[in-house]
């Protein structure tokens, strides 16, 4: 399996990092693309070595400005893509077909090829523009999933919540997250 992971400038860099970690543990080939805003957020939230650590988790790393990269074409055959976290700028660009950088172009490819695109928008509260963009993406077949912690899993730490949310992303991408996901057993 080949999965593209995009990290944009919204808060929640640890989510993107853990999605990459779990995909790697599942033996999935990953293609990472990070926006300039994503790089700034990673540095702020994960520290000065955060970007290097995130890049090490990916099988391949692509430059945001290289719109001629392999992942910019449907013939590349990526199985799915996750944008985690997804800024409102990136969400809007995806909803309106602005392939103005490699992340948004790769997302556009997923939509036009009718492949899985999972976006985790990180913003609150939401404006009407945000909601309209989410609705547009949903109608195009994307999975729009704000990162809401599964409290029934009784997380004991932020790391527990990040792991659980990242495991859900794997599920939506079509990858079995194994024991990283707490499954509801009924009440």
Segment 101-158, tens digit of pLDDT: 999 999 999 999 999 999 999 999 999 999 999 999 999 999 999 999 889 999 999 9
Residue 117 lies in a domain: yes
Residue 182 lies in a domain: no
- Tell me which residue range forms the domain holding 115: 2-175
Residue 180 lies in a domain: no
- Percentage with pLDDT > 70 across the chain: 100
Residue 63 lies in a domain: yes
Confidence (pLDDT) at 184:
87
The 3-class SS string of 34-62 reads: ECHHHHHHHHHHHCCCHHHHHHHHCCEEE
Residue 58 lies in a domain: yes
Find where tokens 């989410």 sit.
Answer: 134
Residue 186 lies in a domain: no
Residue 14 lies in a domain: yes
How much is the pTM? 0.97
Residue 154 lies in a domain: yes
- pLDDT grade, residue 85 (50/70/90)? very high
**Residue 158 maps to which CATH number?**
3.40.50.1950
Give me the number of domains the chain comprises: 1
Mean pLDDT of the chain: 97
């Amino acid at each position: 399996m080949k999965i593209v992971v995009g990290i944009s400038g919204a808060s929640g860099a640890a989510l993107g990092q853990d999605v990459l970690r779990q995909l790697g543990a599942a033996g999935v080939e990953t293609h990472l693309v990070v926006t300039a805003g994503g790089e700034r957020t990673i540095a702020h939230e994960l520290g000065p070595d955060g970007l290097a650590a995130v890049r090490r988790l990916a099988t391949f790393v692509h430059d945001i400005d290289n719109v001629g990269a392999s992942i910019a074409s449907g013939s590349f055959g990526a199985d799915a893509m996750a944008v985690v976290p997804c800024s409102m700028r990136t969400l809007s660009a995806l909803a309106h077909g602005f392939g103005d950088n490699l992340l948004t172009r790769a997302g556009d490819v997923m939509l036009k090829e009718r492949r899985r695109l999972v976006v985790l928008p990180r913003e609150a509260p939401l404006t009407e523009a945000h909601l309209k963009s989410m609705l547009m993406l949903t109608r195009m077949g994307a999975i729009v999933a704000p990162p809401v912690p599964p409290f029934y899993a009784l997380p004991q730490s932020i790391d527990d919540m990040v792991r659980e949310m990242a495991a859900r992303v794997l599920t939506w991408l079509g990858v079995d997250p194994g024991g990283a996901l707490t499954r509801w057993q009924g009440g």
